[in-house]
Chain A
Amino acid sequence: MNLEWSGQERITASKEKVWSFINDPASIASCLPDVRQTNVLDAHTFDATVGVAVGPVRGSFKFKIALEPRPDGNHMDMKINGGGLGSVIDLLAAADLTAEGDAATILNWKGTASMRGPIATVGGRVLDTQALRVISTTFENVRNRLSGNPPSQ
């Protein structure tokens, strides 16, 4: 099952600052929603355990996250592969940065999720939007952190 979502965040920080923030695994890891454990593996990859709770469905997903920045400094792909609840969720998040003057940056993001295993059918109705919330909340938190707002969950 494949799902797509997209969104936009306006961050009151320079493009360079945003770019370096989203290039740092530790920073990105700290923006994941309901993150329970992170482990930075190298300059571009890290593991994270993220809690999932929707209605009666509760559990956690273990993700391996790889950051793939483009050399132009404008575009970042994040490959998020992981599993939990006997299933697999693969997320792909792509972020495009556009400077809005010196002090603000527009972050346009697009996410796709593909799910396999029991949740694709049994839990799909419960978890589909939840999977994408991992992405949207992460970018919201990037904005909040860089703009100096309190984080969302």
Chain B
Amino acid sequence: MTQSIGVSMKRKEDPRFIRGRGRYLDDIKLPGMLYLALVHSPYPHARIKSIDKSKAMAVPGVKAVITGEDLDAAKLEWLPTFHGYDKQMVLAFGKTLYQYQEVAGVIATSREVAHDAVELVEVEYEPLDPVVDPYQAKEDTIILRDDREPKTNHIYHWEVGDKTATATALDTSAVRIKERIISPRCHPAPLEPCGIVADMNKATGRLTLYMTSQAPHVHRTAFSLVTGIPEDKIHVISPDVGGGFGNKVPVYPGYVVATVASVIIGVPVKWVETRTENLTTTGFARDYHMDVEIGATKEGKVTALRVSTVADHGAFDAAADPRKYPAGMFGIVTGSYDFPAAFAEVDAYFTNKPPGGIAYRCSFRVTEASFAIERGMDLLARKLEMDPVELRRQNFIKKEQFPYSSPLGFTYDSGDYAATMRKALDIIGYEALRKEQAEKRKRGELMGIGISTFTETVGAGPGKQFDILGIKMFDSAEIRIHPTGSGIVRAGTRHQGQGHETTWAQIVGEELGLDPQELLVEEGDTDTAPYGLGTYASRSTPVAGGALALAARRIREKAKKIAAHLLEVAEDDVEWKDYKFGVKGIPDKSVTMKEVAFAAYTNPPPDTEPGLETSYYYDPPNLTFPYGTYIAVVDVDADTGAVKVRRFLAVDDCGTVINPMIVEGQIHGGLAEGFAIAFMQEIKYDEDGNNLNTNFTEYLIPTALETPAWETDRTVTPSPHHPIGAKGVGESPNVGSPQAFVNAVMDALAPLGVTHIDMPLTREKVWRAIRNAS
């Protein structure tokens, strides 16, 4: 056997996907299955005066029409949100709180008939004035949630850091910047929509839920808590997931209504959302309005950071943040810089918009924080008339400062920010680009170079701090090695394209000296997989990856006993070397793990249990802190406001790299989403609360033609506390890139005096900024 970790092994999951043999949710077709379609409110805020089901019920093939009142009678109308501070309606009950809110469900023999009948459900609304802007919500002139006490739209205030010291430091700083920086509402929009097939088997009393789920175990527990069905009677299966990006973490009304219908009718019920339902009702992301202030000395040494945020949470507080962290890991807002003082606060408000606040391809609220600090540093550089690279270099947390205690409470594990930035500057040819820019500026051409030297925190997380529904955010692995030396590996995570079937096999193969090709990885079935918290927030490798390595080491410990037995030496004389067990001092005497596996079943030592399997629940001692330097080079067309991204370089440091090919693929994908967020992706509401981006003709996903070509490289600074030194990478590119694009455009417009434009940087916004400046 040879090395498994660090090898660009081709993906084990691909053979089924390239043949069209993946099995996604909508591919599941059970005998007698019925279909659910939902009725939605056209009003963002309205009282429901009446619902008339009769015409819909009369359509041949319609089996049931379910309303909020029906659910309330069954005590299933309200759903607890994940962090437990709020609850949300399953179907609109009494009033609707956002446009497209689910009002009723129609169950029918086909999708077409269900949609036909949806049109015939007559709902009488009494429109109410909507609250669309979180700053308007703050006024409390219209109270959205009648069901809550006290009567206010304010959800919570959260703060971290030394408020007084920060204020003092800012007040005495020679140079200060202040800007309202908005991370606009957007949506993950994986290409596979969300869906469920709920199958209540009245004979066995078991409820099987096929769900597009990034966290099947958590969903099992949640369904048990809501319905009162014992957890052993619920079986959640998350089949192949066609992209998630955070969208498939929450529990949605469609899931609940389909489940209720299956429980009542006793046949399987399928619900697959339309793209419009996906964009208008399921987990949105961001919507943070951040007032960022940075103080510095005249020489460019930062003195303090203060960020005050207004968060728009929509109609229910269903943000998918850990219980004790309502604003997630927003405290990472000091970024890669050594701030002597810092303070951050977040106030969240209800508005007439759908609930969510999910971590869209990022750890909880890390994208917002990273955007704020990286934009802030550029604004400060501008004010100081300093090269943004130089400002960053001066203020980086230095290599020797790790482990670094940040003023907002994190302990950064490892990093060498200056070295990574240096590498990026060399590759992109920074000096030459600045020279070219200077020449272009003389000719009036708009060229910009944008840099982002971000640090994120991922891998939630240590159980003493992080939980969901009270469940600690550990993760798990189970390994069974078969007699002939192949095996099955199961984890509590659920991949959606990240390549776990390959990388998990590589971790276990590396630890055990087995061929990853012969290690089958299975996830997503709660009957077989060990309990885990799922895949989101870049937690799979930092948490489950640790569990896998440690489970494998447990196997190895037992294997060592068996090896000693086979080698007829004392256990102390056995050493694990070159992926096999040898005898200290006797080079040619060894046994392979395959031989050990066979012996575990055929010839175990007399005092040892037969078999070779184990599980491990890993509670990580700390979060991990991946980082990187991203550089964008852009050209701006002053006539139209169009931005052309000429080059984009990402130099990432995610610690130990398990599969370089997969890591690079993750970075490409995250960069494309960061590009989309910077330039086109937004969920916008007009003043009446109408969603203006209800399908892919208006919610813009870039194609291969708009998306730039990506250049990537890396440095490797392993995490000291992670069993294999890995930090996680799936989200770095999405967290780190938007600000590189925006900084580049602002740099291009610098000669005109333009300092900030809110994302997305549409042509018109850029054009307007240029026109207003000149």
A residues at B contact (CB < 8 Å): 1-2, 83, 86-88, 114-118, 120-122
When distances are taken between beta carbons in the complex, the residues of chain A under 8 Å from B687 are: 2
The stretch that binds A, out of B323-331, B383-391, B690-698, B715-723, is: B690-698
How many Å from the CB of A61 to the closest CB on chain B?
13
When distances are taken between beta carbons in the complex, the residues of chain B under 8 Å from A121 are: 690-695, 698
| A116 and B695 in contact, given A1-B686, A2-B688, A86-B119 (Cβ under 8 angstroms) | no
When distances are taken between beta carbons in the complex, the residues of chain B under 8 Å from A86 are: 40, 42, 119
| A1 and B690 in contact, given A86-B119, A118-B276 (Cβ under 8 angstroms) | yes
When distances are taken between beta carbons in the complex, the residues of chain B under 8 Å from A118 are: 276, 694
* B690, A120: Cβ atoms closer than 8 Å: yes
Additional pairs, 9, CB under 8 Å, beyond known A1-B686, A2-B687, A120-B690? A1-B690, A83-B42, A86-B40, A87-B42, A88-B43, A115-B690, A117-B690, A118-B694, A121-B694
When distances are taken between beta carbons in the complex, the residues of chain B under 8 Å from A87 are: 42
Question: Please, which residue of chain B has its CB at the minimum distance from the CB of A114?
Answer: B688
* B690, A116: Cβ atoms closer than 8 Å: yes
B99 at the A interface (CB under 8 A): yes
When distances are taken between beta carbons in the complex, the residues of chain A under 8 Å from B692 are: 1, 120-121
CA distance A118 to B686 in the complex (A): 14
How many Å from the CB of B700 to the closest CB on chain A?
13
* B99, A116: Cβ atoms closer than 8 Å: yes
CA distance A90 to B692 in the complex (A): 17
CA distance A95 to B695 in the complex (A): 37
How many Å from the CB of A3 to the closest CB on chain B?
11
When distances are taken between beta carbons in the complex, the residues of chain B under 8 Å from A114 are: 688
CA distance A130 to B306 in the complex (A): 51
CA distance A87 to B100 in the complex (A): 10
CA distance A120 to B697 in the complex (A): 13
Question: Please, which residue of chain B has its CB at the minimum distance from the CB of A84?
Answer: B119
When distances are taken between beta carbons in the complex, the residues of chain B under 8 Å from A115 are: 690
When distances are taken between beta carbons in the complex, the residues of chain A under 8 Å from B693 are: 121
Q: What total count of A-B pairs have CB within 8 Å?
A: 41
* A116, B42: Cβ atoms closer than 8 Å: yes
Which of the residues B688, B697, B698 comes within 8 Å of A116, measured between beta carbons?
A: B688
When distances are taken between beta carbons in the complex, the residues of chain A under 8 Å from B695 are: 121-122
Size class of B's contact patch? 10 to 19
* A116, B43: Cβ atoms closer than 8 Å: yes
Interface string of B25-61 (1 = CB under 8 A from A): 0000000000000001011100000000000000000
When distances are taken between beta carbons in the complex, the residues of chain A under 8 Å from B42 are: 83, 86-88, 116-117
CA distance A142 to B691 in the complex (A): 36
CA distance A116 to B101 in the complex (A): 13
- Which 5 A-B residue pairs are closest in the complex by CB-CB distance? A117-B42, A88-B42, A116-B42, A121-B694, A120-B690
Question: Please, which residue of chain B has its CB at the minimum distance from the CB of A121?
Answer: B694
How many Å from the CB of B665 to the closest CB on chain A?
33
Question: Please, which residue of chain A has its CB at the minimum distance from the CB of B697?
Answer: A122
Interface string of B673-710 (1 = CB under 8 A from A): 00000000000001111111111011000000000000
CA distance A116 to B99 in the complex (A): 8
Question: Please, which residue of chain A has its CB at the minimum distance from the CB of B689?
Answer: A116
27 residue pairs bridging A and B, Cβ less than 8 Å apart: A1-B688, A2-B687, A2-B688, A83-B42, A86-B40, A86-B42, A86-B119, A88-B42, A115-B690, A116-B42, A116-B43, A116-B99, A116-B688, A116-B689, A116-B690, A117-B40, A117-B99, A117-B690, A118-B276, A120-B690, A120-B692, A121-B691, A121-B695, A121-B698, A122-B694, A122-B695, A122-B697
CA distance A2 to B685 in the complex (A): 12
Question: Please, which residue of chain B has its CB at the minimum distance from the CB of A116?
Answer: B42
CA distance A118 to B279 in the complex (A): 12
How many Å from the CB of A100 to the closest CB on chain B?
37
How many Å from the CB of A51 to the closest CB on chain B?
17
When distances are taken between beta carbons in the complex, the residues of chain B under 8 Å from A1 are: 686, 688, 690, 692
Question: Please, which residue of chain B has its CB at the minimum distance from the CB of A83?
Answer: B42
When distances are taken between beta carbons in the complex, the residues of chain B under 8 Å from A120 are: 690, 692
How many Å from the CB of A82 to the closest CB on chain B?
11
When distances are taken between beta carbons in the complex, the residues of chain B under 8 Å from A2 are: 686-688
CA distance A83 to B39 in the complex (A): 14
CA distance A120 to B688 in the complex (A): 11
How many Å from the CB of A134 to the closest CB on chain B?
18
With a 10 A CB-CB cut-off, give which of B276, B689, B690, B694 has the most chain A CB atoms: B690
How many Å from the CB of B696 to the closest CB on chain A?
11
How many Å from the CB of A47 to the closest CB on chain B?
13
When distances are taken between beta carbons in the complex, the residues of chain B under 8 Å from A88 are: 42-43
How many Å from the CB of A59 to the closest CB on chain B?
10
CA distance A2 to B689 in the complex (A): 11
When distances are taken between beta carbons in the complex, the residues of chain A under 8 Å from B689 are: 116
CA distance A87 to B42 in the complex (A): 6
CA distance A114 to B43 in the complex (A): 11
CA distance A121 to B695 in the complex (A): 9
CA distance A108 to B99 in the complex (A): 34
Question: Please, which residue of chain A has its CB at the minimum distance from the CB of B119?
Answer: A86
How many Å from the CB of B121 to the closest CB on chain A?
11
CA distance A122 to B697 in the complex (A): 8
When distances are taken between beta carbons in the complex, the residues of chain A under 8 Å from B43 are: 88, 116
When distances are taken between beta carbons in the complex, the residues of chain B under 8 Å from A83 are: 42
CA distance A104 to B43 in the complex (A): 42
When distances are taken between beta carbons in the complex, the residues of chain A under 8 Å from B40 are: 86, 117
CA distance A120 to B692 in the complex (A): 7
How many Å from the CB of A1 to the closest CB on chain B?
6
CA distance A135 to B692 in the complex (A): 25
B698-755 with Cβ < 8 A to chain A = 698
CA distance A118 to B40 in the complex (A): 10
When distances are taken between beta carbons in the complex, the residues of chain B under 8 Å from A116 are: 42-44, 99, 688-690
When distances are taken between beta carbons in the complex, the residues of chain B under 8 Å from A122 are: 694-695, 697
Question: Please, which residue of chain A has its CB at the minimum distance from the CB of B125?
Answer: A88
CA distance A122 to B280 in the complex (A): 13
CA distance A118 to B277 in the complex (A): 11
CA distance A117 to B40 in the complex (A): 9
CA distance A101 to B722 in the complex (A): 91
CA distance A2 to B688 in the complex (A): 9
How many Å from the CB of A4 to the closest CB on chain B?
14
CA distance A1 to B691 in the complex (A): 9
When distances are taken between beta carbons in the complex, the residues of chain A under 8 Å from B276 are: 118
CA distance A114 to B407 in the complex (A): 49
CA distance A118 to B119 in the complex (A): 13
CA distance A63 to B230 in the complex (A): 50
Question: Please, which residue of chain B has its CB at the minimum distance from the CB of A88?
Answer: B42
CA distance A115 to B44 in the complex (A): 12
When distances are taken between beta carbons in the complex, the residues of chain A under 8 Å from B697 are: 122
Question: Please, which residue of chain A has its CB at the minimum distance from the CB of B695?
Answer: A122
How many Å from the CB of A125 to the closest CB on chain B?
10
CA distance A86 to B40 in the complex (A): 9
B82-104 with Cβ < 8 A to chain A = 99
How many Å from the CB of A66 to the closest CB on chain B?
14
CA distance A87 to B692 in the complex (A): 14
When distances are taken between beta carbons in the complex, the residues of chain A under 8 Å from B691 are: 121
CA distance A45 to B614 in the complex (A): 75
When distances are taken between beta carbons in the complex, the residues of chain A under 8 Å from B688 are: 1-2, 114, 116
CA distance A144 to B42 in the complex (A): 36
How many Å from the CB of A84 to the closest CB on chain B?
10
CA distance A114 to B692 in the complex (A): 13
Question: Please, which residue of chain B has its CB at the minimum distance from the CB of A119?
Answer: B42
CA distance A88 to B96 in the complex (A): 15
CA distance A27 to B212 in the complex (A): 56
CA distance A33 to B686 in the complex (A): 29
How many Å from the CB of A15 to the closest CB on chain B?
34
How many Å from the CB of A109 to the closest CB on chain B?
22
When distances are taken between beta carbons in the complex, the residues of chain A under 8 Å from B119 are: 86
